[in-house]
Amino acid sequence: MSSRISRVFSDLRKKGELGLVTYVTAGDPNLSRSADILKTLDQAGADVLEVGVPFSDPLADGPVIQRASERALASGTTLTQTLELIKRVRAVVQAPIVVFSYANPILRIGLESFAANASEAGVDGVLVLDLPIEEAGTFRHTLVEAGIDPIFLLSPTTTDLRIRQAAELGRGFLYGISRLGVTGARSEMATGVRGMVRRIRSVTSLPIAVGFGLSHPKHLQEIGKCADAAVVGSALVELIAQQADSEDLTTVIEDFIAWLKGGKGEGMDGS
């Protein structure tokens, strides 16, 4: 039986459309507003929703997402509460939901307990940012048994061997990062994205989503020439930070997604 993630990417391929994957941190600015944000992103047309688990030492995250984690942790958000948030919105959110986490919060709960709770909450995929591919066998088996897609991260310097391993273990899609370093919106696209995607495509038919630094419709247009989906995180998280106390937060998010997907509405960069 195909997963919700696989069905979304299959539909996108049939329509010849680039998917939009959005990232937000659970509990930023608080759990109640996080629920509204996820519902809004789904209604605005995001194809996959990534939900980050706040973590005290997010080594792969740039300052924007680090601050989001700090705000979420200050509001008391945990992995368990993140899963409860997803469970709360699952009935009204159509898009697949992928949990982004570091290994420690999952290990604290226990992998089997986490997988069972995530499945019950309606999680479709899980990506553990600091899990070495060589140690991912048990993680993959446990998630697949729970009906959840394990998703793996690939970078421009990932070896061909590790790309093959990720392709063999992964389900749903593979996440290629467009540059080395930490997350964060950039004005210019990284070079070498097409080469990385070409290397991944040579060993797998899994959909490929590309992220790290995407913040403008022109970035999505470039990604659409080679990949199946674009991931937008830091630019969205920064927007949430700016509008956290505003009654217009959900409207601003809707406008941002419309702008990203089709260049409609007023540009976030004043264009």
- 47, 50, 222, 255: the active-site residue: 50
Tens digit of each residue's pLDDT (9 = 90 or more) over 194-215:
899 999 999 999 999 999 878 8
Query: Rounded to the nearest 5°, which phi and psi values hold at 175?
Result: -110, 110
Flag whether pLDDT at 56 surpasses 90. no
120: annotated active-site residue: no
Task: Report pLDDT for 266.
Answer: 47
Give a yes or no: residue 269 inside a domain.
no
**Model confidence band, residue 106 (pLDDT cutoffs 50, 70, 90):** very high
Give a yes or no: residue 196 inside a domain.
yes
Task: Report pLDDT for 190.
Answer: 52
Contact 195, 174 (CB under 8 A): no
Task: Report pLDDT for 192.
Answer: 74
CATH value at residue 63:
3.20.20.70
Task: Report pLDDT for 122.
Answer: 98
Give a yes or no: residue 149 inside a domain.
yes
Task: Report pLDDT for 184.
Answer: 41
- 28, 47, 61, 149: the active-site residue: 61
The predicted model gives 70-86 an average pLDDT of 95
pTM tops 0.75, yes or no:
yes
Ramachandran bin of 185, using left for φ above 0, alpha for ψ from -120 to 50, beta for the remaining angles: beta
Say which residues have a Cβ less than 8 Å from residue 110's Cβ, sequence separation at least 6. none
- The per-residue DSSP string of the chain comes to ---HHHHHHHHHHHHT--EEEEEEETTSS-HHHHHHHHHHHHHHT-SEEEEEPP-S--TT--HHHHHHHHHHHHTT--HHHHHHHHHHHHTT--S-EEEEE-HHHHHHH-HHHHHHHHHHHT--EEEETT--GGG-HHHHHHHHHTT-EE--EE-TT--HHHHHHHHHH--S-EEEESSSS-----SSPPTTHHHHHHHHHTT--S-EEEESS--SHHHHHHHTTT-SEEEE-HHHHHHHHHHTT-TTHHHHHHHHHHHHHHS-SS-TT--
61: annotated active-site residue: yes
Give a yes or no: residue 267 inside a domain.
no
Task: Report pLDDT for 178.
Answer: 74
Give a yes or no: residue 270 inside a domain.
no
Residue owning tokens 């459309």: 17
Give a yes or no: residue 180 inside a domain.
yes
Domain containing residue 202: 4-262
Tens digit of each residue's pLDDT (9 = 90 or more) over 2-44:
899 999 999 999 999 999 999 999 999 999 999 999 999 999 9
Give a yes or no: residue 246 inside a domain.
yes
Count the domains in the chain: 1
The predicted model gives 124-131 an average pLDDT of 96
Give a yes or no: residue 198 inside a domain.
yes
